[in-house]
């Protein structure tokens, strides 16, 4: 998503959250994923990072990772879909007099995008059995948290949800 709510004009993941390292959210998460791969003994690129972008920030996100050598991890980008933009009273918004305005289809758009963009097929071809999905603006997330994912696997859970209530 866009960092507008954070007062940042660009993808949320490129936002500097004020860490002493000056790391962006994307860099911080990439470093965690890289370390997890190294700790697994299979190397820094052992855990792939799939990033769903919006049509508004796809190019900027890909360029950011490219300019940072993908932070030395295996990264894949896929844009989410769009839906007609609506007013709060349910009326469609026009971009021009002949064109309907559209907006990213939100977090739920991940499911059709995984199929439409070939990501699910890529995951299957790599033998990936488990996925950890999270929002880029969650600076507390532990991507592919081995304890949490392991707990879900051990308990044969179809899915798991870890929550920290806002205060």
The pLDDT tens digits of the residues spanning 104-150 come to: 898 889 999 999 999 999 999 999 999 999 988 888 899 999 999 99
Instruction: Give, in order, the Cα–Cα distances in Å from 158 to each of 146, 148, 150.
Output: 16, 13, 12
Q: Residue 51: is its pLDDT beyond 80?
A: yes
Q: Residue 9: is its pLDDT beyond 80?
A: no
- Count Cα atoms within 13 angstroms, Cβ side, for 115: 4
0.85 exceeded by pTM: yes
Strands (E), the chain: 49-53, 75-79, 82-84, 94-96, 99-100, 102-104
**Which of left, alpha, beta for 161 (phi over 0: left; psi -120 to 50: alpha)?**
beta
Q: What is the pLDDT of residue 56?
A: 87
Q: What is the pLDDT of residue 41?
A: 94
């Amino acid at each position: 998503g866009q960092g507008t709510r954070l007062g940042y004009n660009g993808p949320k993941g490129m936002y500097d959250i004020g860490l002493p390292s000056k790391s962006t959210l994307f860099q911080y998460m990439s470093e965690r994923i890289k370390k997890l791969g190294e700790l697994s003994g299979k190397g820094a690129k052992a855990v792939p990072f799939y990033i769903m972008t919006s049509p508004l920030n796809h190019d900027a996100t890909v360029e950011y990772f490219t300019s940072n050598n993908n932070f030395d991890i295996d990264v894949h980008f896929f844009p989410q879909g769009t839906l007609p933009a609506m007013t709060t009273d349910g009326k469609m918004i026009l971009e021009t007099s002949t064109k309907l305005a559209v907006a990213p289809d939100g977090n739920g758009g991940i499911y059709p995008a995984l199929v439409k963009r070939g990501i699910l097929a890529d995951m299957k071809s790599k033998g990936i059995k488990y996925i950890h999905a999270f929002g880029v603006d969650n600076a507390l997330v532990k991507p592919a948290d081995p304890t949490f994912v392991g707990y879900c696997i051990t308990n044969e859970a179809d899915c798991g949800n870890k929550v920290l209530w806002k205060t």
